[in-house]
């Protein structure tokens, strides 16, 4: 930390200047003599213990106050406060009881469809037919019919054609691994091509480059790791990410994994775009990257990329555009006949972009592309172990071995879709989204968050608990997302919602449910919706963490 050393240097210089004067020196000595006289009333051991004790306490305090951590001081103090409160036995007992009750309820609902699990490997391998029988049986557990378009996001196209194509290609490349570029030169070329095609969509310049990854999260992790390394090279001890509260939490994950500092800024309450004034104010000497989304996950709003990029240029920091969700929609919007402000490498200052092939690219899960404006940034995401006993080892991304099959299947999907295919899907998805947004903004009692133009529509209410709407939509078979801060729900529009009648049904169902709820605006929310509502009001967020961790534990019950 530079400022600490500046402080030390200033103190030393100040003292030096003082002691040059003979009178001051004598005065100081006589003062010290007084101190000696005063301290003779204490025993030596008392002085030693007091000094050591005081040093330890001050050091601990300085650690809490001045430590550069992922989370800001206010968050750390709040956490410490609740940790202390939990020492009270009655509080602890009550929390434990409530947690157990909540988790027991969750377990019941998650495992309700599960059949009896096998506890160990069959002593003798099954025949192929028996294995297929087993999967047939297990598949019976999945009862939600997503093909009718009642699910938000999750399944983006899944046409039979694509299933056939991707599984055939997967089969042919099932054992391939780009870690061995010599064995699988075709996979190497396919990955290079997928990256090149995506760069072309985002108008990457001659120096632009990228790699494929296993998903949006890995793309974001790698970009943040690259910016952290750039920060280290500049001598920044804890490189900082500045992002809005609407940015995907994969950036929080990156900050935790890579021990970076995380500074969240608010969004404009009306437009739901990042608050540029707050972002500008948050930029510090430790900042290495600003994040903008195109669009963001909660309410599907595109941030003002050009303005964020200007800040990036002005403060000489990177600008990452998270287009994980919109990656295969926004590049086609203009050609599909919609307005779209520049959001890609055409905007000077944008230094990296993440785009998920496994969302609107319609490729199988486990694929995404991370792109950079220059090769020197991509270098910063690589890992090289030059001294490993296993040989000189270098990988572009987090994984060692990678699924060449997924690269091939993604490559095949992109080729099959072609530019015209994506322009077509973009037309359908954006038209449907804008139609749903327009219709829902006419429904009294609720409002659409911001002005969604791409592929997500978020809805909230100022008059009643929106989670009551959420609950009633579940009763009608919908699987939409519940969001918090502010309480809201969203539909992520996929190809399945563009089919005749699906969007109309959604709008109709929401209108009917809202009318029911609005007739008794003060009624309380029960069931699943209540969880969302209540969880936001719990001040001790570690309780929510424990519930979430318990939830993940349940997923591994056998
Ligand atoms: C989905 C998503 C991510 C994370 O991608 P995963 O593929 O789920 O890891 C990041 N940002 C946005 C905006 C997303 O929608
Ligand atoms: C998936 O996309 C293709 C190509 O645009 C389209 O023909 C097909 O109808 C889509 N499938 C679904 C299930 O929407």
Atom of ligand 2 nearest to the CA of 422: 5
Cα of 215 to ligand 1 centre, how many Å? Answer: 7
Among 324, 330, 358, 494, which is best to mutate for testing ligand 1, by the most ligand atoms less than 8 A from CB? 324
Which of 59-63, 452-456, 534-538 is most confident? 452-456
The most confident of the ranges 21-30, 99-108, 225-234, 511-520 is: 225-234
In ligand 1, the atom with minimum distance to the C-alpha of 295 is 13
Q: Does 198 score more than 70 pLDDT?
A: yes
Please give the pLDDT value at position 2.
59
Q: Which residues of 161-196 are buried (b: 16+ CB within 10 A; e: fewer)?
A: ebeebbeebbeebeebbbbeeeebeebbebbbebbe
CA 425 – ligand 2 centroid, Å: 7
Q: Does residue 1 have a pLDDT over 60?
A: no
The DSSP element (H or E) to which 311 belongs, if any, is: helix 305-315
φ, ψ (nearest 5 deg) of residue 498 = -90, -5
What is the distance in A from the centroid of ligand 1 to the CA of 424? 23
pLDDT in tens, 464-494: 899 999 989 988 989 999 999 999 999 999 9
- Percent of the chain beyond pLDDT 90? 67
| 431 C-alpha to ligand 2 centroid (Å) | 15
With a cut of 60, say whether residue 144 has pLDDT above it.
yes
Of the given ranges (11-25, 368-382, 501-515), which has the lowest mean pLDDT?
Answer: 11-25
pLDDT at 533 over 90: no
Is the pLDDT assigned to residue 300 strictly greater than 90?
yes
- d(CA 33, CA 449) in angstroms, rounded, equals 71
Question: How far, in Å, are 3, 87, 182, 311, 413 from residue 276 at the CA level?
Answer: 27, 42, 48, 9, 38
Does ligand 1 come within 6 angstroms of the Cβ of 297? yes
- pLDDT value of residue 523: 79
Q: Cβ distance 483 to 459 under 8 Å? A: no
- For residues 312 and 413, the answer to whether their CB atoms sit within 8 Å is no
pLDDT at 529 over 90: no
Q: Whole-angstrom Cα distance, residue 223 to residue 372?
A: 8
Query: Cα(210)–Cα(213) distance, rounded to whole angstroms?
Result: 10
Instruction: Tell me the ligand closest to 244's alpha carbon.
Output: 1
pLDDT at 537 over 80: no
Ligand 1 and 439: CB distance under 6 A: no
Name the closest ligand to CA 156: 2
CA distance 495 to 387: 49
| pLDDT average, residue stretch 163-173 | 96
Average pLDDT in the 357-382 region? 97
Determine the distance separating the centroid of ligand 1 and the alpha carbon of 547, expressed in angstroms: 23
Give the number of whichever ligand sits closest to the CA of residue 162: 2
With helix as H, strand as E and coil as C, how does 476-538 read?
A: CCCECEEECCCCEEEEECCHHHCCCCHHHHHHHHHHHHHHHHHCCCCCCCCHHHHHHHHHHHC
Domain 177-415 in this protein, CATH class: alpha beta
Residue 84's pLDDT is: 85
User: Model confidence over 76-97: pLDDT tens digits?
Assistant: 888 888 888 888 888 888 888 8
């Amino acid at each position: 930390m530079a400022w600490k050393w500046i402080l030390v240097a200033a103190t030393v210089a100040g003292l030096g200047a003082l002691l040059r004067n003979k009178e001051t020196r004598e005065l100081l000595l006589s003062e010290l003599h007084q101190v000696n006289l005063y301290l003779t009333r204490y025993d030596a051991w008392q002085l030693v213990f007091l000094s050591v004790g005081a040093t330890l306490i001050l050091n601990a305090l300085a650690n809490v106050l001045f430590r550069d951590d992922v989370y800001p001081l206010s968050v750390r103090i709040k956490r410490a406060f609740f940790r202390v409160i939990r020492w009270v036995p009655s509080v602890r007992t009550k929390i434990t009881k409530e947690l157990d009750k909540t988790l027991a309820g969750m377990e019941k609902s998650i495992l309700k469809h599960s059949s009896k699990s096998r506890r160990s490997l069959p002593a003798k391998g099954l025949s192929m037919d028996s294995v297929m029988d087993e999967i047939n049986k297990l598949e019976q557990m999945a009862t939600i019919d997503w093909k009718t378009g009642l699910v938000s996001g999750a399944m983006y196209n899944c046409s039979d054609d694509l299933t056939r194509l991707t599984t055939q290609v997967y089969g042919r490349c099932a054992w391939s691994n780009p870690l061995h570029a010599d064995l699988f030169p075709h996979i190497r070329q396919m990955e290079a091509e997928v990256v090149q095609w995506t760069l072309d969509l985002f108008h990457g310049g001659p120096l632009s480059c990228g790699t494929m990854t296993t998903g949006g999260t890995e793309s974001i992790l790698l970009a943040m790791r690259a910016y952290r390394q750039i920060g280290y090279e500049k001598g920044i001890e804890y490189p900082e990410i500045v992002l809005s509260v609407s940015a995907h939490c994969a950036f929080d994950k990156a900050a935790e994994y890579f021990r970076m500092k995380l500074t969240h800024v608010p969004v404009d309450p009306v437009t739901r775009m990042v608050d540029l004034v707050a972002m500008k104010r948050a930029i510090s000497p430790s900042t290495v990257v600003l994040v903008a989304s195109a669009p963001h996950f909660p309410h599907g709003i595109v941030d003002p990329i050009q303005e964020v990029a200007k800040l990036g240029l002005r403060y000489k920091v990177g600008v990452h555009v998270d287009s994980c969700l919109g990656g295969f929609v926004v590049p086609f919007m203009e050609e599909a006949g919609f307005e779209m402000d520049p959001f890609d490498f055409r905007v000077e200052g944008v230094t990296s972009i993440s785009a998920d092939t496994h969302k609107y690219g319609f490729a199988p899960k486990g694929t995404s592309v991370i792109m950079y404006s220059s090769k020197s940034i991509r270098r910063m995401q690589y890992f090289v172990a030059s001294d490993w006993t296993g040989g000189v080892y270098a990988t572009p991304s987090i994984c060692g071995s990678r699924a060449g099959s997924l690269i091939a299947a993604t490559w095949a999907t992109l080729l099959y879709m072609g530019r015209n295919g994506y322009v077509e899907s973009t037309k359908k998805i954006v038209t449907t989204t804008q139609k749903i947004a327009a219709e829902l903004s006419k429904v009294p009692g609720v409002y659409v968050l911001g002005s969604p133009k791409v592929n997500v529509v978020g809805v909230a209410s100022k008059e009643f608990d929106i989670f009551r709407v959420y609950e009633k939509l579940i009763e009608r078979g919908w699987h939409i997302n519940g969001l918090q801060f502010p309480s809201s729900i969203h539909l992520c529009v996929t190809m399945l919602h563009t089919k005749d009648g699906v969007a109309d049904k959604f709008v109709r169902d929401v209108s009917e449910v809202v009318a029911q709820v609005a007739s008794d605006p003060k009624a309380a929310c029960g069931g699943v919706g209540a969880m969302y509502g209540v969880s936001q009001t719990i001040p001790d967020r570690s309780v929510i963490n424990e519930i979430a961790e318990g939830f993940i534990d349940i997923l591994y019950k056998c």
